[in-house]
A and B are shown apart, each in its own frame.
Chain A
Amino acid sequence: MNRNIIETFDLTKRYKLKGRNKDIFALNNVNISIKEGEVFGLLGPNGAGKTTMIQILTTLLNPTNGYAIIDGYNIIKNPKKAKAKVALMLGSNMLYYRITGYDNLKFFCNIYNVPNYKEKINSMAIEFGLEKWLNQYVENFSSGMKMKLALCRTLLLNRDILILDEPTLGLDVKSISFIVNILKNSNKTIFLTSHDMNVVEKLCDRIAFIDKGYILKIGTKEDIKKLIQSEIKIEIKIVENQEKLKYELNQQTFINEYINTKEGFIISLKNRKYYRDLLLILGKFNILKVKEIDLSIEEMFLKIV
């Protein structure tokens, strides 16, 4: 069993806003644990507390209350050792646009004391398709290239824990797929925030939903799907007697709604436990197709929040 490599205990960050008596909670008693090697996604709308969480975990910000343990080190009592375990990527920030890509990577390798950095930079640049651009000023890079360079920088630091804030923000499908593949094969513990549900779905072992500083749900993709899909949608394609079936289903109390489609309809089942009852009815008809419609994480997120 993998050990917990990131743990937070009642992590709270409170802000006092100008002209307001009430405090605003960016984080409110957040308790999460992430296992070694796990990819953990934090999803939430703007202002939910995602970036605050990252800033606290990387010791950029002190919590008002609570603490976190990073690979055995308390971020409050031992911030130096805690932050030495992580590599942080804040989108395409943290790059110097006015020097070249190579100079950026070289600078951070020297600061982080990375051995044989020249070879590592060159091989990573080839892997990321940046070799032709490496000696150009970063200000001339496209958004995708900046993001790739930022990821190069993060991976070169050779830390076991990657903390990534919006690693695919504003990128096209090809670049997103490239970054997802790189991260999937990195064999690191990854804590990431993203707005891109597809990225989270493809990449993360577990997902937490956060809003207004509260963690609303934590679980695997499947857990969350199960939880959300207490009401499920089912697509039914029927060869004949469509109206008869519709009439029969209409008599049932466990069906919430019908949506007509070209070859049949989509029904909304109140709860998964009525699946058997539904199948008993469907068995009387010449059914072409019965398919449960998967909720995307985006739909799940909207449901939860």
Chain B
Amino acid sequence: MINRKEFKKYLLQIKALTERNIKLKLRFKYNLIISLISPFIFVIMPLIILSQLFEFDTQFGNWTINNFLLYQFLAYNIFLLKNIISEFPNQIRIEKFWKTIPSLIIAPLNRINIFFGIFFSHLILIFIPFTIFFIICYLIYPISFFTIISIIVIFLLIALIFSGIGLILGIFAISNENILGILVFIIDLVFWASCITYPFEIFPKILQEVISLNPFYYIFDFLRATWIEDNIISTIILHPSNFYILISITFIVPITSVFIFNKVYKKFGIVGY
């Protein structure tokens, strides 16, 4: 159990890491701006295709002409958060080649603080576009204040999950970049099969079976349902499995990632510079 003094120390360390990450990012502002715009590219194609499909008054599951725009803009925000996954290995790899990583490894620093440092700095950096698209979503499909809070909490939980995955990639950026490449490919596949931008029902049966094994599909579906149904309690009651998956993955992934980070680092150390 950490005492108050230690807690204060941890907060100061997280603040320092967050501040440093933001300053490093702001050194090259155009790169930052491009990284905020690029997720929109992933949304444009589904927007065009779905707008054409929905012209014929069709419906795919709960995706309709009334809500597909909302879902696409929610998808943009998910993509903004998803960038946090690559942020971990990118930053850790850069630090490896800058040779600043030893300074963090030998510092009296809990790994979880590095985790939160990257987590908060990413949230701060995406705050403006995220908020703009959140407001656009609200204008398209207004919801109650309580639902707004619920949606923000769900987004934060998703960001925590993504950070956990990012940390796992991060340790392989330090210790084994071969494995890192494989993991990035697997994660891309998982996201491709998670129905962020397309309705589940549009996929062929065999792919639907694969998608139904993907926890991210349930998490993103829960986010959309929470917005549309505008009542978190009834959404939890109507989609209990989605809710349990979200909560359990939120706890499992970050804790597992810190565990894997420590284990892999202890075994392999810094490799490749």
Contacts and interface: CB of A to CB of B under 8 A. Distances in A.
Interface of A: 55, 58-62, 80, 83-84, 86, 88, 90, 93-99, 103, 106-108, 110-113, 137
B182 interface: no
Contacts of B270: 60
30 contacts: A58-B102, A60-B102, A62-B266, A84-B108, A88-B102, A93-B98, A94-B99, A94-B103, A95-B100, A96-B20, A96-B100, A98-B23, A98-B24, A99-B23, A103-B20, A103-B23, A107-B16, A107-B19, A107-B20, A108-B103, A108-B107, A110-B13, A110-B15, A110-B16, A111-B13, A111-B17, A111-B104, A112-B108, A113-B9, A113-B13
Nearest to A61: B269
Interface string B13-43: 1011101100110010000000000000000
B25 to A, nearest CB: 9
B24 A96 contact: yes
A243 to B, nearest CB: 61
A95 B24 CA distance: 12
Interface string B253-273: 000000000000010011000
Contacts of B15: 110
A112 B107 contact: yes
Given A98-B24, A98-B27, A93 B100 contact: yes
A86 B13 contact: no
Given A96-B24, A110-B15, 8 more contacts: A83-B108, A99-B23, A103-B19, A103-B23, A106-B16, A107-B16, A111-B107, A137-B27
Interface residues of B, number: 25
Given A90-B99, A111-B16, A113-B9, A99 B108 contact: no
Nearest to B99: A93
Interface of B: 9, 12-13, 15-17, 19-20, 23-24, 27, 98-100, 102-109, 266, 269-270
Nearest to A103: B23
B108 A113 contact: yes
A60 B23 CA distance: 27
B99 A60 contact: no
Contacts of B108: 80, 83-84, 111-113
A99 B13 contact: no
A195 B163 CA distance: 43
A103 B22 CA distance: 12
A99 B24 CA distance: 6
Nearest to A60: B102
Contacts of A58: 102, 106
Contacts of A83: 106, 108
Closest 9 CB pairs of A and B: A110-B16, A93-B99, A94-B103, A98-B27, A99-B23, A107-B20, A83-B106, A111-B107, A58-B106
B106 to A, nearest CB: 5
A44 B102 CA distance: 23
B91 to A, nearest CB: 11
A95 B20 CA distance: 12
Nearest to A92: B99
